[in-house]
Chain A
Amino acid sequence: MDGVTKKRIIMAKMGLDAHDNALRIVSKWLKDSGYEIIYAGLYNSPEKILKMVIEEDADAIGLSFHGGEHLYHTSRLIELLKTHNLTHIKIFVGGIIAPFDVEKLKKMGVSAVFTPGSRKEDILNVIKKSFDEN
């Protein structure tokens, strides 16, 4: 990836869920593929992520959920981004997410949802494609 056009992605978990195996693995995959990763780690609120998006001039947010908190936090974050005219920020969600919630997340405006067993190549392709479409 061209260094000049490196996309900046914030990688975070929100709320109290601390299962970050996948977040760390996918962050490494993205970093190795040339993205700039701003690793926000655990225990983030939507407000904290918003602040980080602005300060870091991020292009996208990667969120990971394990325990069923995904709809609550993602919808609040998306609302917050809208009120700050940051709707161009892409949101990718991964984790243990029931099939019926995958569609709900996409309807909210999430660019892609990755569930357990998603392949590295597929994740990287989907993310690259979603940036290329801009």
Chain B
Amino acid sequence: MPDKFVTTYDHTVGERLPHFRSLSGIEYKRIYDEKCWNKKLPDAGEYPFTRGIYKDMYRSRLWTRRQQSGFGTPEESNELLKFLFKMGQTGINIDSDIASKLGLDPDYPLAQADVGLQGTSMCTYEDMTVLFKDIPIDRISTTLIFPPPSSAVMMAQYLLMAEERGIPAYQLQGTIMNCPFTQLVGPTYQANTAFFPIDVALEIGLDLVEYLLKVAPRWNVLNVNSRNIRECGVDAVWEAAFGISLGMDYVRRLIRRGLHVDSFAQRIGFFCAVHMDLFEEVAKFRAMRRIWARVMKEIFGAKSEKSMQFRCAVQTSSLTFTAQEPLNNIVRASIQTLAAILSGVQSIHTTCYDEAYCLPTEKAQKLALRTQEILAYETGCAKVVDPLGGSYFLEALTDELEEKIWELVKDIEKRGGFIECFKSGFVENVLNEARYRFAEQIESGELPIVGLNIFRDEEANTDIEIFTQRPDMQRQRIEYAINYKNKKGRDSAFRALKDLYLATKRVPRENLVLPIMEATRQRATLQEICDAMRDALGFEIPH
């Protein structure tokens, strides 16, 4: 096997893989037998849930097909949602543009080129109502991808919309991701601290958890996004260890607020990556379920089995995609989707093949959904619970991964937990080392990627349909935000913002969700609300 990029292959010699290690570096044996694993497995639905958190898994109900979607204006994204439902999507996953995630309106100077590009542009209550126009929010579950403090504003808008439609909050089903560390490009320090003080963002997220547990008990209040950590280049073991450690930090902080672990644990979920090493990925999810169950029972004293269940949504990896021969990405996404199904996850987003170029086209979105549908209905892979369970190889690998993940979790705990590691720069160092190693593995050929560093075809056709935004979309959104804020008669909004400002300043600080709710009700914009808090904290943002 060559150690550099190759464009041709010597057909006169037999092919041999460059090594027999997993993506996380585990050396695979030639063959696995009873000497490697001869234990007994508890049934699916039984603690520690290695084989799945429900007894019947997909025989009872298929996973939710939840494509992350959103672009341009709320009107455009509303059309996209309707299209995806028509094609068989079963849950909503709303991604906003970065400005909305950072608590900025479209007219903020540094935001203007990013408006609506990587998700929907959202800043007013009316945006939320347009986005969900004709969508039955009482019958479909919605995931809103926002970090705090934007998560509190968006949740306020969503609850207000439900109220105006006559839907009680306790009926609502969905998830607010609500994590200030992992929503923006993984837990990279600058990305997550430049637009709001991280400690206060964390507290506002926990304020929202407390509030939602009371008013919307079916709503999932926190989602630990280990997928974004993985997409920085770390391996499966680090992904799992960071995700579990961060989850533990949240549990610890909520208990410190006086909540009993069983009152909130079943409303915390995870959002994970699925990469190319099929068996390692399946083993990763089985190991994560086991570790989380033990942590919740043995460390946090959970009594309810639901509190011990590791509930998990996934998105297949974008990092594994190539711009070269983009149709190859369909194969990659299919295999990763299969890995997710064999792992027994709760919802899947299959990444579209064109995402090495742009946001997906409708055609690519449809194909991603069809991938899941073909796997679900044609292959039989969803007919048996934990279909790979009992394989010597998979069970030994699950044990090995569990041990490696747990060793790292213990190390992170010794360093004060994930959040302390984030603040100290430890997380950033691990991510940077992983990034450089990942690039080096591709350069050296240690990580073979077909069409990129092996079997590269310089003449390959990369001509695919590429999504383009409507040319006047950004101007339209910027004008909308300016006009909205210049409207007369906004006195009640300003009064509510003043109250929020004062509440943020108060010591000891109170739960900020109610003043945020009121400012939303009085039609303050996303940035106006976030700025009221920033001003009270004396926090300046880049410009």
Please report A residues at the B interface, Cβ cutoff 8 Å: 14-21, 24-25, 28-29, 41-45, 66-69, 72-73, 96, 98-100, 115-117, 119-120
> How far, in whole Å, are A100 and B359 apart by their CA atoms in the complex?
15
B349 to chain A, nearest CB (A): 18
Contacts A15-B113, A15-B114, A72-B113 hold; do A20 and B188 have CB atoms under 8 A apart?
A: yes
A98 touching B439, Cβ below 8 Å: no
CB < 8 Å neighbour of B357 from A43, A45, A98: A98
CB nearest to A28 among chain B residues: B436
Contacts A21-B435, A96-B357 hold; do A43 and B194 have CB atoms under 8 A apart?
A: yes
Number of A-B contacts (CB under 8 A): 89
A42 touching B109, Cβ below 8 Å: no
Which of A20, A21, A73, A96 is the most central at the interface, judged by chain B CB atoms within 10 Å of its CB?
A: A21
CB nearest to B118 among chain A residues: A67
> How far, in whole Å, are A105 and B115 apart by their CA atoms in the complex?
20
Contacts A25-B436, A67-B117 hold; do A18 and B542 have CB atoms under 8 A apart?
A: no
A45 touching B109, Cβ below 8 Å: yes
CB nearest to A65 among chain B residues: B113
Please report B residues at the A interface, Cβ cutoff 8 Å: 5, 98-99, 102, 104, 109-114, 117-118, 184-185, 188, 190-191, 194, 232-233, 322-324, 356-359, 432, 435-436, 439, 443, 452, 462, 466, 468-469, 542-543
CB nearest to A25 among chain B residues: B439
A42 touching B191, Cβ below 8 Å: yes
| A contact residues around B99 at 8 Å (CB) | 16
CB nearest to A122 among chain B residues: B5
> How far, in whole Å, are A17 and B112 apart by their CA atoms in the complex?
11
A18 touching B435, Cβ below 8 Å: no
CB nearest to B325 among chain A residues: A117
| B contact residues around A115 at 8 Å (CB) | 323
21 A-B pairs within 8 Å (CB atoms) are namely A16-B104, A16-B111, A17-B98, A17-B114, A18-B190, A18-B191, A20-B185, A21-B233, A25-B439, A28-B436, A41-B190, A68-B118, A69-B113, A72-B112, A72-B113, A98-B357, A98-B358, A98-B468, A117-B452, A119-B5, A119-B443
A69 touching B114, Cβ below 8 Å: yes
A16 touching B114, Cβ below 8 Å: yes
CB nearest to A26 among chain B residues: B439
A42 touching B194, Cβ below 8 Å: yes
CB nearest to A43 among chain B residues: B542
A117 touching B322, Cβ below 8 Å: yes
A114 to chain B, nearest CB (A): 11
> How far, in whole Å, are A96 and B452 apart by their CA atoms in the complex?
16
| B contact residues around A16 at 8 Å (CB) | 98-99, 102, 104, 110-111, 114
CB nearest to B451 among chain A residues: A117
> How far, in whole Å, are A116 and B469 apart by their CA atoms in the complex?
21
| A contact residues around B232 at 8 Å (CB) | 21
CB nearest to A100 among chain B residues: B466
| B contact residues around A73 at 8 Å (CB) | 113
> How far, in whole Å, are A25 and B324 apart by their CA atoms in the complex?
19
A55 to chain B, nearest CB (A): 17
B110 touching A24, Cβ below 8 Å: no
> How far, in whole Å, are A73 and B115 apart by their CA atoms in the complex?
13
| A contact residues around B104 at 8 Å (CB) | 16
CB < 8 Å neighbour of A15 from B5, B111, B436, B443: B111
Which of B117, B184, B542 is the most central at the interface, judged by chain A CB atoms within 10 Å of its CB?
A: B117
CB nearest to B108 among chain A residues: A16
A38 to chain B, nearest CB (A): 15
> How far, in whole Å, are A119 and B436 apart by their CA atoms in the complex?
14
A41 to chain B, nearest CB (A): 5
> How far, in whole Å, are A17 and B526 apart by their CA atoms in the complex?
19
Which of B5, B102, B109, B114 is the most central at the interface, judged by chain A CB atoms within 10 Å of its CB?
A: B114
